[in-house]
Structure 1
Amino acid sequence: MTRLERKGFEMIVYGLPVGQGILALSPIPGSDGDYAGDVQHLIEWKPAIVVSLVTEIELAAAGAAGLWHDLVDAGTRWEHMPISDFGVPDDEFEQAWPEVSANARRALTGGGRVLVHCRGGCGRSGMVALRLMIEMGEAADDARDRLRHVRPCAIETSEQMGWALQAKREPALFLRHAD
């Protein structure tokens, strides 16, 4: 697990090795009331790609409406793929997913960092992280267990688990860091 700490608060990015890179989950920056501090710590973590699964309303409520701008200005690729809380991807998400997934898998294969966030860093984030892990070639049960070891609340509904498990496994892509 990767922890980003600052005085008086701990912003946690729940990361695990996938491919040659790190795949991580986190809550929405600003959820603790310190948007600027959270964003600064994420920028220092240096993700190649941030996949944001929150809605525009959730971004605004957390004071994070400018998150995309702050991350892109810092050199991070931003992918906004909103899913309703406790939900699963809709048709628009499904159409965009193959390209977003390919970019994330390339980053992980090349040693980059990919951050997936939702409001709490659990259900939606866990669903998408598990899907990426399986697409990278991990066996579904092993990937789920590794993910839940780092973030026990990952994937909150059976529908989310079902979507994640629809992944097509690419065994040639899975090159795991030494633990």
Structure 2
Amino acid sequence: MEYRRTLLNFSFVVPGLLAGMARPGTTGSLEQDLIFLQMQGIKALLSLSEAEVDEQTVLQRGFDFLHIPVADFTAPTLKQVEQAMEFVERKIDLEGKPVVIFCGAGCGRTGTFLACYFVKKGKLPEEAIHHVRSIRPCSIETGSQRELIYKYAEHLRVSGRDGKVES
């Protein structure tokens, strides 16, 4: 199992609730990777990969699934981040379903969305980036991905959804 964990670049950033990984089915069979995810307690998958994952197989295995394609080595749009955060928070906070986020290698796009999750939960952008990288060192690969995390924090602040209480 450790071999598969390493092969998939799988790790939890919120123990038992939120994880990142490489695209399932890339280094082995999709079926084997989905079984591994079930063994980790994962119930929902968020795909950021441009490449399609066989959604039918994912759903037949009992997972919830959302695909938000983001080009490799680019930053998502704020709309894409909002869509992803709504899915992740609904699954974790309302339905109690652990989520895994993945892209191609599980680094840039995955790390960007994971950092945005922590910003949404009240961390400053730099703290969120540091936290994600301390667990997943390859996370957030480009300047545009880093800038997006700051932009998302500002977007939350301006819209009054940053979790901070005005004094």
Same fold (TM over 0.5): yes
- Aligned partner of 1:54 in structure 2 is 49
Structure 2 CA distance, aligned partners of 1:87 and 1:73? 31
Counterpart for residue 170 of structure 1: 163
Residue identity in the other structure for 1:33: G
Query: Per-residue deviation at 1:171?
Result: 4.8
Q: Once the 2 structures are TM-superposed, how far is the Cα of residue 108 of structure 1 from its aligned partner? A: 3.1
Deviates more, 1:33-42 or 1:96-105: 96-105
- Residues 31-40 or 144-153, more deviating: 31-40
1:14 to 11, 20, 27: 11
For residues 100 and 123 of structure 1, do their structure 2 counterparts lie closer, same or farther at Cα, with a shift above 3 Å needed? closer
Other-structure match for 1:103: 87
Moved more, 71-80 or 144-153: 71-80
**Deviation by residue 1:51-78 (Cα, 9 ceiling, x = unmatched):** 10111xx33xxxxx41x22222233221
Confirm or deny that 1:126 pairs with 2:119.
Answer: no
Corresponding position: 1:28 with 2:23: yes
Q: Which runs of 5+ in 1 are unaligned?
A: 60-64, 173-179
2:159 is aligned to: none
CA RMSD of aligned residues (A): 2.5
Match for residue 67 of structure 2 among 77, 80, 105: 80
Q: Distance in 2 between matches of 1:130 and 1:163?
A: 10
**What fraction of aligned residue pairs are identical, expressed as a percent?**
23
The equivalent position to 1:159 in structure 2, one of 107, 122, 144, is 144
Correspondence for 2:40 among 34, 37, 45: 45
Question: Residue in 2 aligned with 1:177?
Answer: none
CA contact (8 A) 1:25 1:116 kept: yes
Bigger relative CO (Cα 8 Å, ≥ 6 apart): 1
In structure 2, runs of 5+ residues without a counterpart are: 157-161
How many residue pairs were aligned? 155
Secondary structure at the aligned position of 1:166 is classed as: helix
More strand by share: 1
